[in-house]
Amino acid sequence: MTSVGATVKEPGSSVKNKTGSWRTFKPVLDKEKCIDCGNCILFCPEGCINKDYDIDYDYCKGCGICAEECPVEAIKMERE
């Protein structure tokens, strides 16, 4: 395939850049408290919380939206 302009041929290759190092505060989820509402999954700018509510700390930038939007305060922001 001839490249036209700047072509990137590997979809989703930004995963090589682990943005977790940007973080100062880390969200920690108490799964006992979690009511499975899905807010944190939906509102994460990185899309790094999976359906089992595991947070991928390789990419989490620590913005705190998940903790802010959790209706039962199951997520606490802890200093790294």
Task: Please state, in angstroms and rounded to a whole number, the distance separating the CA atoms of residues 29 and 36.
Answer: 12
Residues 5-34 vs other proteins: string with x where CB under 8 A?
-x-x-xxxxxxxxxx--xx-----------
CA dist., res. 21 & res. 58, Å (int)? 8
Cα dihedral sign for 58, 79, 33, 37?
A: negative
CB of 32 to other proteins, least distance (A): 23
At which residue do the structure tokens 């682990």 appear?
18
Which residues, 37 to 76, sit near other proteins by CB under 8 A?
Answer: 38, 42-48, 51, 56, 58-59, 61-65, 67-69
- Chain residues that interact with other proteins, rule: CB under 8 A: 6, 8, 10-19, 22-23, 38, 42-48, 51, 56, 58-59, 61-65, 67-69, 77
